[in-house]
Amino acid sequence: MNDIANKITRAAQLLRAGELVAFPTETVYGLGADARNPIALAKIFAAKDRPADHPLIVHLPDATHLGTWAIDIPAAARMLAAACWPGPLTLILQRHPAVPDLVTGGQNTIGVRMPNHPVALALLHEFGSGIAAPSANKFGRISPTTAAHVQQELGESGEKNVAMILDGGACAVGIESTIVDMTSATPRILRPGAISADTLRRLLHAPVHDSHATQPTEREKNTPRVSGSLAAHYAPRTPLQMCAVESLPAAIAAALQEGQRVAVLAPEPVPPLPAHPRIIRRIASADFSQFAHDLYAALRELDAANCDLILVATPPDNEAWRAVNDRLRRAAAGSGTDSGNR
């Protein structure tokens, strides 16, 4: 057996023993626990400092497991699972009565997905059941897209509670899965991701509500069912501002004038920026998939650069860029504090 196969066997044993295992998916790294074991689930909330009413996504080895986690599964949900799994799509369904409350945050629904990463799939097959896994970061902080990020966020073993971190390289997608609520007549996107509303409409030949295209209702604002729906999330500690590309030179000049160190994430070729010891520059891709792939690593790197301000060139405002713009807005809203949004 090679090294990674050994590690996966060990990781499955640890999960069975009620321990936490961080593992790669195609979106971001997850912090996994046996989704049937309330004691193991409680460790996730402790490790992340996550409020207990935030439900967890259950990762499945394949769609044949759906019936042990959800009931009244609509045909449209099965169709999406068949078309998109393994892949970055989470389905919200009616929960099965046997699912622990900690998974669902006490709600009568459950989020499930089958991730598209060979290490995650091997672990799920070895474990043979659902693995509950939020992103492996402190609550409100930037999601990890490498094993090193997980190590920085949560550490391995001991007091920090994470028994093992499986390394599967950098995540291909780089931002969290699309979440679609399948429990009402018209499916509704709760969190935009790599699989767009248009793709879902095409697959279903039916309407799909894109809640991010409309204002949230008062009730939605007050019940944070999706932690990504809190205004502040995915946040660096350094204040982050969005800035139109053409206004960047003026914004940078103003920051320098005030003696600030400024980090800039902008595509090439923007108006040429002066070489200055207090400007740190990272090139952003003009392609949205590549931008998403790089985004969290870039934010981590710029956040670690000890600047007073991170300026991000605002990407195009269209459907393709929706998920990226959503994460950037939230990063800006939550930036500049030590605690993020609790």
Quick one: DSSP state of residue 191? E
Determine contact, residues 235/330, Cβ cutoff 8 Å. Answer: yes
Under rule CB under 6 A, how many of the chain's residues touch ligand TXA?
28
Residue tagged 């060139």 (tokens)? 313
Determine contact, residues 330/233, Cβ cutoff 8 Å. Answer: yes
Determine contact, residues 69/130, Cβ cutoff 8 Å. Answer: yes
With respect to ligand TXA, which residue has the nearer C-beta, 60 or 179? 179
Residue tagged 């959800």 (tokens)? 70
Distance from the Cα of residue 315 to its chain's centroid: 19
Residue 179: contacted member of Mg ion, ligand TXA, none (CB under 5 to 8 Å, by partner type): ligand TXA
The minimum distance between CB 10 and ligand TXA, in angstroms, equals 20
Pick the closest to residue 111 from 157, 176, 50 (CA basis).
176
Under rule CB under 5 A, how many of the chain's residues touch Mg ion?
1
Residues 187-206 that bind ligand TXA (CB under 6 A): 190
Which position among 37, 135, 325, 335 is part of the footprint of Mg ion (CB under 5 A)?
135
Residue 313 β-bridge partners: 243
Residue 196: contacted member of Mg ion, ligand TXA, none (CB under 5 to 8 Å, by partner type): none
27 binds ligand TXA (CB under 6 A): yes
92 binds ligand TXA (CB under 6 A): yes
The rounded distance, in Å, linking the Cα atoms of 45 and 220 is 23
Which position among 15, 33, 99, 110 is part of the footprint of ligand TXA (CB under 6 A)?
110
The minimum distance between CB 315 and ligand TXA, in angstroms, equals 20
All residues at 6 or more sequence positions from 239 whose CB lies less than 8 Å from its CB, including other chains: 308, 309, 310, 335, 336
Would you state the structure tokens that stand for residue 295, as one six-digit string?
Answer: 């985004």
Please give the backbone phi and psi of residue 29, each rounded to the nearest 5 degrees, phi first: -75, 140
With respect to Mg ion, which residue has the nearer C-beta, 36 or 233? 233
Residues 49-78 that bind ligand TXA (CB under 6 A): 54-57
Q: Which long-range contacts (CB under 8 A, 24 or more apart) does 61-65 make?
A: 61/114, 61/121, 61/124, 61/125, 61/127, 61/128, 61/129, 62/114, 63/114, 65/129, 65/130
146 binds ligand TXA (CB under 6 A): no
With respect to ligand TXA, which residue has the nearer C-beta, 27 or 335? 27
With respect to ligand TXA, which residue has the nearer C-beta, 193 or 315? 193
With respect to Mg ion, which residue has the nearer C-beta, 164 or 230? 230
- In this structure, the chain runs to a length of 342
Residues 4-63 that bind Mg ion (CB under 5 A): none
The minimum distance between CB 243 and ligand TXA, in angstroms, equals 27
What is the sign of the dihedral through the CA atoms of 292, 297, 300 and 302? Answer: negative
Which position among 107, 247, 339, 341 is part of the footprint of ligand TXA (CB under 6 A)?
107
The minimum distance between CB 110 and Mg ion, in angstroms, equals 17
Q: Residue 128: left (phi > 0), alpha (psi -120 to 50), or beta?
A: left
Instruction: Give me the residues that bind Mg ion (CB under 5 A), please.
Output: 135
By the criterion CB under 6 A, which residues form the site for ligand TXA?
A: 25, 27-28, 30, 54-57, 88, 90, 92, 104, 107, 109-111, 115, 133-135, 176-177, 179, 190, 225-228
